[in-house]
Amino acid sequence: MSEPLVGPGGLVAADGSAWALPGPVEQGAVVVIDVQRSFADPAFLPWVGAAGLEAVAAAVATTARLVAGAREQGVPVVWVALEQDPSEPWDTSLWLRRVPADAVWPGADEPCVAGTPGAQWFGVAPEPAETVVRKTRYSGFVGTTLATELQAAGVTWFVAAGLTTECCVGSTVWDGFQRGWRTVVASDATAAYDPDVHTTTLRVLAENAAVVATTDALLDAFAAARHAVAVPA
- Taking only the tens place, the pLDDT of each residue in 177-191 is 999 999 999 999 999
Residue 41 DSSP SS3: coil
Domains and CATH numbers, the chain: 23-214 (3.40.50.850)
In whole angstroms, how large is the CA radius of gyration of the chain? Answer: 18
List CB contacts of 226: < 8 A, sequence separation 6 or more. Answer: 25, 73, 74
Q: Check if the beta carbon of residue 36 is closer than 8 Å to that of residue 42.
A: no
Q: Which residues pair with 163 in a beta bridge?
A: 191
User: How long is the chain?
Assistant: 233
pLDDT in tens, 141-158: 999 999 999 999 999 999
pLDDT tens for residues 13-62? 767 788 888 999 999 999 999 999 999 999 999 999 999 999 999 999 99
Long-range CB contacts (< 8 A, 24+ apart) of 43-52?
Answer: 44/111, 44/118, 45/193, 48/193, 49/193, 51/195, 52/191, 52/192, 52/193, 52/194, 52/195
